[in-house]
């Protein structure tokens, strides 16, 4: 069985605390036409380097019913900078246009098959997976970016066109699994494409 969700798979449910003090579940976003769930964190240079492009993408599609949900699943034992307290500080400082959820047990990262930070999963109105992978081709330095796969996938889907590229390899730091070396990945988590 593949580690990561496959195209057409339904979004796994979750119930996680956000930096705003509320708890959100999959049903919290039932009124969204498209749901973008992405695994992210506080410290990764690929996240830090591309968060402003992710912000611009989220804001661009907000009026079309697209909601972004960020989830931090990194082990604080591996990366103390990814603690919930640091998540709160980051959101207070940056004011990103998404809820930022803490997956302390890492169960949600496992259910989605998150490989790296950032790793994007785009679900349609029926919460079926229509795109997964990277946001952009140069997340560490977006000044060198030549393609925004996430923007392309959302644009095509909302225009009721087939998504040209539905699966890409996420580019970023490994998810930091508790009790494992920080570079460890599950053996079944081979490259997606």
Q: Which residues does 10 contact at the CB level (< 8 Å), separation at least 6?
A: 126, 127, 128, 129
* Gap between the Cα atoms of 56 and 173, Å rounded: 22
In a domain, 180, yes or no: no
Look at 39-48, 61-70, 110-119, 177-186 and tell me which has the smallest mean pLDDT: 177-186
* Gap between the Cα atoms of 91 and 3, Å rounded: 30
CATH number at residue 64: 3.40.30.10
pLDDT at 193: 46
In a domain, 16, yes or no: yes
0.85 exceeded by pTM: yes
Domain span at residue 13 reads 9-174
Is 175's pLDDT higher than 60?
Answer: yes
Mean pLDDT for 53-71 is: 98
Residues of the chain above pLDDT 70, percent: 95
In a domain, 185, yes or no: no
DSSP letter for 29, please. Answer: G
pLDDT at 84: 97
Q: Which of 150, 142, 181, 115 is nearest to 52 (CA)?
A: 142
In a domain, 192, yes or no: no
Q: What is the signed CA dihedral for 54, 146, 49, 77, rounded to 10 degrees?
A: 80
Name the domain count of the chain.
1
* Gap between the Cα atoms of 1 and 139, Å rounded: 29
Look at 64-68, 120-124, 163-167, 176-180 and tell me which has the smallest mean pLDDT: 176-180
Q: Check: CB of residue 177 under 8 Å from CB of residue 106.
A: yes
Query: At 54, which helix (H) or strand (E)?
Result: helix 45-61
Over residues 69-111, the pLDDT tens digits come to 999 999 999 889 999 999 999 999 999 999 999 999 999 999 9
Is 191's pLDDT higher than 80?
Answer: no
């Amino acid at each position: 069985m593949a580690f990561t969700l496959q195209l057409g798979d339904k979004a796994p449910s979750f119930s996680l605390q956000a930096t705003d003090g509320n708890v959100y579940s999959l049903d919290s976003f039932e009124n969204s036409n498209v749901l973008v769930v992405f695994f992210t964190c506080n410290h990764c240079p690929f996240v830090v380097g591309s968060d402003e492009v992710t912000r611009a993408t989220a804001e661009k599609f907000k009026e079309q019913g697209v909601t972004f949900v960020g989830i931090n699943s990194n082990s604080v034992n591996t990366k103390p900078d990814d603690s919930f307290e640091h998540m709160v500080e980051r959101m207070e400082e940056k004011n990103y246009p998404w809820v930022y959820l803490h997956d302390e047990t890492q169960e949600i990262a496992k259910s989605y098959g998150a490989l790296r930070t950032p790793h994007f999963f785009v679900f349609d109105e029926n919460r079926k997976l229509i795109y997964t992978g990277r946001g952009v081709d140069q997340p560490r330095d977006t000044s060198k970016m030549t393609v925004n796969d996430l923007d392309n996938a959302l644009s095509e889907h909302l225009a009721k066109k087939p998504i040209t590229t539905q699966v890409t390899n996420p580019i970023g730091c490994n998810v930091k699994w508790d009790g494992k070396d920080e570079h460890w990945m599950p053996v079944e988590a081979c490259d997606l494409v």
